[in-house]
Amino acid sequence: MSGSRMPLTGFGTWKLREPELEPAIRAALKVGYRHFDGAAIYENESELGRVFQTIISNEQFVSRSELFITSKLWVTSMKPRSVRPACEQSLKDWKMDYFDLYLIHWPFCFKSDTKTGSTLYDVHGVAIIDEECQIEDTWREMEKLVQAGLVKNIGVSNFSLNLLKRILAMSDLKIIPAVNQVELHPYLQQRELRDYCNGINIVVEAYSSLGSGKTAPYLLADESFIEIAKDLK
């Protein structure tokens, strides 16, 4: 990363809503969390911004420089003309001047309504992929966010090894992705991707590290992990 220090453990804000949101953030800060991970698609950045503004400006419990804030570019905002406005909107919602890390959330782009920005669907209810939107073009705009001082570090999320190599192969590449945030847990270890990223100093950041709980098998119900937990008590 570009001189930044990212805390080893982050607090994810997916599905976090009031009335639980503010108490959860305060509890996380109290026990030592300083890295908070958000995204435009989580639809709670305004609420997070309100809480952090109160904590930073009014109560002065922590300073902005103590925090490491991540947000993500959604798939309907990946066309070059949409990248900066999307980032600026997220910054406005968070009530912050910069992000410590800004990620491309997924390696594809959905077509969207030109007026509302809403995702467009086909007759079968499937989101329409925008084939004209290229990852390389999006990345160039991400680099400009760093140059403009809107973000300190840029990276990707949910990128396979081949997709990551597409960015690295750009002839005009200025900034190597600092992070690739992927699903990573004992059932999905992603060894090849991890080894490759470690070899070129790209941080592999895990999400759903204990499983998401959405689909079986449930990692936390695995007898092997239950036994390990008992031994560690």
Residue 42 designated active-site? yes
Catalytic residue among 33, 42, 102, 121: 42
| HEC secondary structure over the chain | CCCCCCCCCEEECCCCCCCCHHHHHHHHHHCCCCEEECCHHHCCHHHHHHHHHHHHHHCCCCCHHHCEEEEEECHHHCCHHHHHHHHHHHHHHHCCCCECEEEECCCCCECECCCCCCECECCCCCECECCCCCHHHHHHHHHHHHHCCCECCEEEECCCHHHHHHHHCCCCCCCCCCEEEEECECCECCHHHHHHHHHCCCEEEEECCCCCCCCCCCHHHCHHHHHHHHHHC
- Give strand pairing partners of 157: 181
Distance between first and last Cα of the chain? 35
In angstroms, the Cα distances linking 84 to 145, 195, 204 are: 7, 32, 25
Asked whether 102 and 45 are in contact (CB, 8 A), the reply is no
Residues designated catalytic: 42
